[in-house]
């Protein structure tokens, strides 16, 4: 049974631990520092929460926003907002997400039940794939609400370039934690990304017209039966969506990596007592969903840090419990 990680990990036994306190509906503003050591966080209401170690797990948008408000980020950008620089690091400069487009089809009136329900996932190589990478993903689902179809039923054949070259940015609009950051995913910024997306949509259109599926289809809603291949690139660009897999806004990397914000254990470079453990530290977006990948990263970092603390090879945090800042109000 598919379950929320909060339910699976935060069991009653865990919730009853004396060194754990869970506070809901808390919006984190920034990290508190003493010199170059994190010692807690400040909430949007002004409350201070002390910690021996601060772990940011606000996701690819929340964690970098907290870092930037805290003075960890590109010095020039922070100076424009009057934020004192704690560490000049390329936070928010390597955002990567997967462009997503779906063809929508109205089902025939005698095929609305669609039993069994349509559902398929296909990873494949585009004609411009590098090596053995599976850089294209096609999903067939009932994503479109039935009311959008003239027949009352619909399916979609979606395409995503899951190994894109394009990079975007995340920057602050202001110092106010309630002001959402400026997000520019910069989809299809490279010609190769645009060509692969076009190739994928042409493929899904062919699949939609294949007799085994076409027998259930009344018409193509998007991009529409009247749209030819010569118009398709413009239609895609005008109706592009996100696959919802943002990464790399605080990417991990080695000491000589100019784009690295954290190391392989999520520790922020040049800062003591501060880690980031979420999808933002993935340097490259994986071709699969981020949920299991993020869980794997968290498990490995937790195990590695605990093992090192047991061996005494790194400085253990002070006895107070770590503060995990999700960066949202949930």
Q: Which element (helix H / strand E) includes 59? A: helix 59-69
CA pair distance 258, 326, nearest whole angstrom: 26
Are the C-beta atoms of 203 and 197 separated by less than 8 Å? no
Instruction: Give the neighbor-by-neighbor strand order of the sheet with 48-50.
Output: 28-34, 37-43, 48-50
Long-range contacts of residues 29-32, Cβ cutoff 8 Å, at least 24 apart: 29/66, 29/69, 29/177, 30/66, 30/69, 30/70, 30/71, 30/177, 31/56, 31/66, 31/67, 31/70, 31/72, 31/274, 31/325
Encoding tokens for residue 89? 């690091």
User: Judging by DSSP bridges, how do beta strands 54-56 and 323-325 pair with one another?
Assistant: parallel
265 is catalytic: no
Backbone angles phi, psi at 50, to 5 degrees: -80, 150
Catalytic option among 137, 142, 245, 265 = 245
CA pair distance 130, 112, nearest whole angstrom: 40
Catalytic residues: 245
């Amino acid at each position: 049974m598919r379950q929320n990680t909060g339910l699976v990990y935060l069991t009653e036994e865990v919730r009853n631990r004396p060194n754990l306190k869970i506070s809901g509906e808390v919006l984190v503003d920034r990290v508190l520092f003493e010199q170059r050591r994190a010692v807690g966080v400040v909430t949007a209401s002004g409350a201070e929460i002390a910690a021996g170690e601060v772990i940011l797990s606000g996701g690819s948008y929340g964690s970098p926003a907290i870092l930037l408000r805290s003075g960890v980020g590109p010095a020039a950008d922070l100076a424009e907002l009057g934020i004192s620089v704690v560490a000049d690091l390329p936070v928010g400069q390597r955002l990567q997400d997967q462009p997503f487009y779906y063809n929508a089809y109205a089902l025939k009136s005698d095929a609305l039940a669609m039993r069994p329900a349509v559902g398929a996932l296909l990873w494949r190589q585009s004609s411009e794939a590098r090596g053995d990478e599976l850089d294209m993903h096609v999903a067939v689902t009932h994503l479109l609400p039935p009311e959008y179809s003239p027949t009352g039923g619909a399916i979609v054949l979606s395409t995503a370039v899951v190994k894109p070259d394009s990079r975007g940015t995340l920057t602050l609009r202001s110092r106010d934690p309630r002001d959402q950051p400026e997000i520019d995913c910069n989809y299809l910024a490279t010609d190769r990304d645009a060509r692969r997306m076009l190739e994928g949509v042409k493929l899904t259109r062919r699949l939609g017209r294949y007799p085994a599926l076409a027998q259930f289809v009344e018409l193509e809603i998007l991009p529409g039966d009247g749209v030819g291949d010569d118009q398709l690139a413009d239609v895609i660009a005008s109706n592009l969506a996100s696959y919802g897999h943002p990464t790399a806004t605080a990417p991990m990397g080695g000491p000589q990596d100019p784009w690295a914000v954290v190391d392989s254990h999520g520790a922020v470079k040049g800062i003591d007592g501060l880690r980031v453990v979420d999808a933002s530290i993935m340097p490259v977006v994986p071709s699969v969903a981020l949920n299991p990948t993020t869980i794997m990263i968290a498990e490995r970092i937790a195990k590695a840090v605990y093992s090192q603390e047991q061996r005494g090879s790194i400085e253990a945090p002070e006895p107070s419990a770590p503060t995990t800042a999700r960066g949202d109000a949930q």
